[in-house]
Amino acid sequence: MEPRSRLLGDRYELLVPLASGGMGRVWRARDTLLERPVAVKVLRSEFTEDATFRARFRAEAQHTAALHHPNIASVFDYGELQVDGENLAYLVMELVEGETLSALLEREGRLDAAHTLDILRQTSAALAAAHEAGVVHRDIKPGNVLVRTDGVVKITDFGIAWSASSVPLTGTGQVVGTAHYLSPEQAEGGKATPASDVYALGTVAYECLAGRRAFDGENSVQIALMQIREQPQPLPPDVPAGVRGLVERAMAKDPAARYPDGAALRAAVGAATDVGATAPIGVAGGTRTAVLPIPPPLPASVSAGPRTGRARRAPVAMLVGALAVLLVVVLAGVLMNGQGATGDQPSSEEPTSEPTSEPTSEPTSAPTSAPTTVAVLAADLIGRPVDEVQAELVGRGLQVQLAPVETADVAAGLVTAATPEGDLPPDTTVTLSYAVAPAPAPAPAPVPPAPPEDENNGNGNGNDGNGNDGRGNGDEGRGNGDDDEEEGDD
């Protein structure tokens, strides 16, 4: 919001605005008590009366203040005030002298592999610290990555982060984040995990290397669906194979196929920088060499637990190759001995990584039956942004029809109703009613002024028959009228 006073909490003097985000405006400010420059984020005025948004903003301070890392912008203070009867909330942060990664990309177009790896190394280290503390950022994007003038990178804006140690502030299944960097599971309405942050950072790395976003479209719903269903265009051919493989794994659709958290991604970036085959990287004024290995196969811990169809394909492919070699050896022995080979019936469950000495045919996975119904609960959808709800329902196999409703009681763009609800068959059309600002009431038609009263003719009789036309005074006019009647009677 635009504070009426430029001195918050009798301490922080607001100087000039630096940036505006989804929840507030950031100001360059001065701490008058400690005499140091700071950044102050002030909650937007449309949110200040909403207890949920204030709680989320307060959580930003609590989450970030608990994180201490050189690649995370520090939080110094938080305050809530009432000014002229209105609520005001603000967050005091470390002032980072530099620019956002989005501004850097806008100026440079694209970055070389070495610069991209350096940014990945620092941001993944910041995420490793957050994930270790139980915090998922949920909105990693170039605008939330600050690049200092000396090259140090800092992540900021944990305003929509979710902490495992606290009660979630968002509704069940609520989609939170920016569509261009939203993980597929978030776009489908699922819970964000550390692997979701890895996906978002992978899309940021893709944008750095390609000079374009991985997915782009006409609206956030279309982009969210692309995150779920489509693969990005290949990176430019000058991107080394090791970096290409690292980004592709970070952007795997299935969370189980990605690096599981920031620490794993940081280790992979370190390996890509320190050991392995070298590849030339073009830089201004010449060429330098960086060490860029192909990322190692998934660790065993990633394959543990339930797996989806996408997660099964990678280990199954490796196993099929091993079994094919074994099958060739066995068949050769059979042909030599003139005997038929027998083997176990392949199981519908995922095969183990150690084949038996008996030949087996190629393992197959039992087909996953499509869900017969989709559960829709209106209470979980009301009050959320309509484009996010639409993306979630479409991603779950439903059709969506939008119905704008003029109301001043709900913020514009938020869902006010959803019908039908319950367990719905796929392709059912759900009507989402959402708030739009009512049209301004038409101005009342101007009332013409009443004609001024004339004392001389107001009481005159215009119908007198003696030629006196009512311009006489009131008494005379009435008198003349009477005389006319009398003469008429005679």
DSSP 166-188: S---SPTT---S-GGG--HHHHT
Angle at 454 between CA 448 and CA 457, to 5 degrees: 125
Residue 325 banded pLDDT, cuts 50, 70, 90: very low
Show the tokens assigned to 101: 């990664």
Reported CATH class of domain 7-93: alpha beta
Lowest mean pLDDT among 8-12, 120-124, 291-295, 397-401: 291-295
Distance CA 129, CA 487 (A): 114
Local structure of 218: helix, strand or coil: coil
In whole angstroms, what is the distance from residue 87 CA to residue 7 CA? Answer: 15
Half-sphere exposure of 478 (CA within 13 A, CB side): 4
To the query of whether residue 409 is one of the catalytic residues in this protein, the response is no
What 3-state class would DSSP assign to 123? Answer: helix
Q: In this predicted model, which residue has the larger pLDDT, 339 or 116?
A: 116
How far apart CA 269 and CA 121 sit, in angstroms, is 6
Percentage, residues of the chain above pLDDT 70 = 64
Taking the C-alpha atoms of residue 209 and residue 242, their distance in angstroms, rounded to an integer, is 13
Q: What's the chain's average pLDDT? A: 74
Say what the pLDDT of residue 215 is. Answer: 95
How far is Cα 59 from Cα 53, in angstroms, rounded to an integer?
10
Percent of the residues in the chain that have a pLDDT greater than 90, as a whole number: 37
Query: For 3-47, how does the pLDDT look when each residue is reduced to its tens digit (9 = 90+)?
Result: 556 889 899 999 999 988 767 789 999 999 999 999 999 887 777
pLDDT at 128: 97
Give the residue among 178, 116, 117 at the shortest CA–CA distance from 144. Answer: 178
Is 102 a residue whose pLDDT tops 90?
Answer: yes
Ranking 132-136, 337-341, 364-368, 377-381 by mean pLDDT, the lowest is 337-341
Strand order in the sheet with 415-419: 399-406, 429-436, 415-419
Residue closest to 143 by CA, chosen among 204, 93, 60: 204
Q: And the tokens for 272?
A: 């890509």
Q: How far apart are CA 371 and CA 426, in angstroms?
A: 8
CATH code of the domain made up of 98-298 = 1.10.510.10
Strands 12-20 and 24-31: antiparallel
- Assigned fold of 374-436: Trypsin Inhibitor V; Chain A (3.30.10)
pLDDT at 366 over 80: no
Q: What is the pLDDT of residue 16?
A: 94
In the sheet with 153-155, reading across from the earlier edge strand, the strands are 98-100, 145-148, 153-155
Q: Are 233 and 281 in contact (CB under 8 A)?
A: no
Portions of the chain given CATH number 1.10.510.10: 98-298
Closest CA to 116 of 149, 143, 153: 153
Determine which one of 112, 139, 261, 380 is catalytic. 139
The pLDDT score that the predictor gives to residue 296 is 47
CATH 3.30.10.20, the chain: domain bounds: 374-436
The torsion defined by the Cα of 286, 289, 294 and 295, in degrees rounded to 10, comes to -100
When pLDDT is cut at 50, 70 and 90, the band that residue 95 belongs to is: very high
pLDDT digits (tens, 9 = 90+) for 388-414: 788 788 878 888 888 888 887 788 888
For CATH 3.30.200.20, list the domain ranges present in the chain.
7-93
Nearest-angstrom CA–CA distance, 204 and 99: 16
Of the pLDDT bands very low, low, confident and very high (cuts 50, 70, 90), residue 331 is very low
The band of 458, judged by pLDDT with boundaries at 50, 70 and 90, is very low
C-alpha 384: how far from chain center: 12
Residue 150 has pLDDT above 80, yes or no: yes
* Omega prior to 420 cis, within 30 of 0: yes
Q: What's the average model confidence in pLDDT over 270-282?
A: 56
The 3-state DSSP class for residue 406 equals: strand
pLDDT for the residue 182: 92
